[in-house]
């Protein structure tokens, strides 16, 4: 990679402190990190080490106490709440452990919903939703409700919802956490397929089996990066 290629994500000395009842909790301490376009990075470490806090900062769901964050060469600290929401909708795809599907909407409607907030025309929304459901192998369940699907199928729909908007980066927070091992492996293979086709992914996991799916793993402990390791064989 050329030295003049700017990273998609760049964190400089990012710290996050939570204040509750006169107690300071240092969730993240002086994090320096870069993610390049097209890269697949996992953030690993034990429970409580700051993984999900870091992903919340990357996804503009929270702000650092100190430090700077550039997303696609734009420093995000000075953005208004409205601009942050707009960038989340346009540039970031979220995949959560708990799926976060809306129970009374069909699979199609769940995937379509974020696109409606963009003011996208109905014909383009239908095309994007159809393409996304095809990618994850769920087009045949488009009219089903989430309650009619298995956990693995619900997570596939959640992945479709994340990719339908063609985001700059996909952020996955323990995407296999609520799945059995077989369904978890299937979702991990789906994420690898997306990466092979050009997606940029950043995934939080406490499971070293799944961390190894990524090209590079950033290891956190007590809010600090303690190690970075590259995959032995990228697939």
Residue 147 binned pLDDT confidence (cut-offs 50, 70, 90): very high
**Is 74 inside any structural domain?**
no
Question: Stretch 123-127: mean pLDDT, rounded?
Answer: 96
> Which pair of tokens denotes residue 101?
């599907």
**Is 9 inside any structural domain?**
no
Residue 185 binned pLDDT confidence (cut-offs 50, 70, 90): very high
In the chain, how many domains are there?
1
**Is 5 inside any structural domain?**
no
Residue 40 binned pLDDT confidence (cut-offs 50, 70, 90): very high
Do residues 72 and 35 lie in contact, with contact meaning Cβ atoms separated by under 8 Å? no
pLDDT one-digit tens code per residue, 48-73 = 899 999 999 999 999 999 999 999 99
Is the pLDDT at 22 greater than 90, yes or no?
Answer: no
**Is 19 inside any structural domain?**
no
Question: Stretch 91-117: mean pLDDT, rounded?
Answer: 95
| E-only strand ranges, 21-166 | 23-35, 40-44, 66-71, 74-75, 92-96
Check which CATH number belongs to the domain holding 198 and give it. 3.40.50.300
**Is 27 inside any structural domain?**
no
Q: By residue range, what is the domain housing residue 48?
A: 37-62+80-230
Q: Which residue has the tokens 């034990």?
A: 46
**Is 21 inside any structural domain?**
no
> Which pair of tokens denotes residue 182?
């077989």
Q: Of the ranges 19-28, 77-86, 123-132, 204-213, which is most confident?
A: 123-132
Listed residue (168, 226, 231) closest to 199, CA to CA: 168
Please, which residues bridge with residue 20 across strands?
A: 23
Is the pLDDT at 105 greater than 90, yes or no?
Answer: yes
If you average pLDDT over every residue of the chain, what do you get? 92
By DSSP bridging, strand 74-75 and strand 66-71 are antiparallel
Listed residue (229, 230, 218, 231) closest to 28, CA to CA: 218
pLDDT of residue 1: 39
**Is 20 inside any structural domain?**
no
Is the pLDDT at 2 greater than 50, yes or no?
Answer: no
**Is 6 inside any structural domain?**
no
Render 163-223 in DSSP notation, one character per residue.
HHT--SEEEEESTTTTS-HHHHHHHHHHHHHHHHTT--EEEEES-HHHHTTSSEEEEEETT
Do residues 32 and 225 lie in contact, with contact meaning Cβ atoms separated by under 8 Å? yes
pTM for the structure as a whole: 0.90
Please, which residues bridge with residue 70 across strands?
A: 10, 75
Render 130-145 in DSSP notation, one character per residue.
HHHHHHTT-GGGTTS-
């Amino acid at each position: 990679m050329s030295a003049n290629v700017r990273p998609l994500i760049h964190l400089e000395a990012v710290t996050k402190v939570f204040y509750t009842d006169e107690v300071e909790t240092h969730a993240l301490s002086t994090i320096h990190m870069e993610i390049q376009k097209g890269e697949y990075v996992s953030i690993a470490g034990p429970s409580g080490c700051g993984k999900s806090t870091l992903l919340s900062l990357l996804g503009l769901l929270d702000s650092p106490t100190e430090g700077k964050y550039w997303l696609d060469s734009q420093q995000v600290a000075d953005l208004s709440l409205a601009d942050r929401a707009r960038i989340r909708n346009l540039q970031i795809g979220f995949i959560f452990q708990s799926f976060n599907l809306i129970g009374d909407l069909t699979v199609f409607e769940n995937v379509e919903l974020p696109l409606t907030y963009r003011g996208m025309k109905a014909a383009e929304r239908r095309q994007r939703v159809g393409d996304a459901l095809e990618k994850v192998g769920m087009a045949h369940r488009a009219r089903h409700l989430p309650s009619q699907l298995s956990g693995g199928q619900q997570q596939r729909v959640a992945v479709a919802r994340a990719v339908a908007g063609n985001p700059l980066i996909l952020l996955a927070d323990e995407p296999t956490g609520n799945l059995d091992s077989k369904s978890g492996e299937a979702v991990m293979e789906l994420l690898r397929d997306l990466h092979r086709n050009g997606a940029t992914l950043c995934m939080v996991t406490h499971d070293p089996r799944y961390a190894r799916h990524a090209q590079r793993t950033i290891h956190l402990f007590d809010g600090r990066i303690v190690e970075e390791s590259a995959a032995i064989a990228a697939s």
